[in-house]
């Protein structure tokens, strides 16, 4: 009877120690996931900023192309008036 009680108490201590270890591991995992989440958010913000830069470049490129087409159209008209053939 006494031996069974000691064994149960020993198992209880082991379970308590195991629970303590598991709680510690859970805390570490939680902190790890939180840190990963923060890094992901920071990366996401950087990607968003990069996308905006690329959009700005694309808009500017489109604007330049449009201006070049207009200039070419004007040049073509002047060449027609002057009688220059290419």
CA distances (Å), 36 to each of 29, 54, 74, 83, in order? 10, 27, 57, 69
pLDDT of residue 16: 84
pTM recorded for the entire structure: 0.57
How sure is the predictor about 72, in pLDDT bands with cuts at 50, 70 and 90?
very high
Each residue's pLDDT tens digit, 31-42: 999 999 999 999
**pLDDT exceeds 90 at position 26:** yes
Each residue's pLDDT tens digit, 48-59: 999 999 999 999
| Arithmetic mean of pLDDT, 58-78 | 97
**pLDDT exceeds 70 at position 18:** yes
Taking the C-alpha atoms of residue 44 and residue 55, their distance in angstroms, rounded to an integer, is 16
């Amino acid at each position: 009877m006494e031996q069974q009680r000691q064994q149960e108490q020993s198992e209880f201590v082991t379970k308590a120690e195991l629970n303590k270890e598991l709680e510690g591991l859970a805390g570490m995992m939680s902190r790890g996931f939180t840190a990963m989440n923060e890094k992901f958010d920071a990366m996401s913000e950087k990607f968003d900023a990069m996308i905006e830069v690329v959009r700005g470049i694309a808009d500017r490129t489109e604007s330049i192309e449009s201006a070049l087409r207009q200039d070419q159209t004007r040049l073509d008209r002047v060449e027609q008036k002057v009688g220059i053939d290419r």
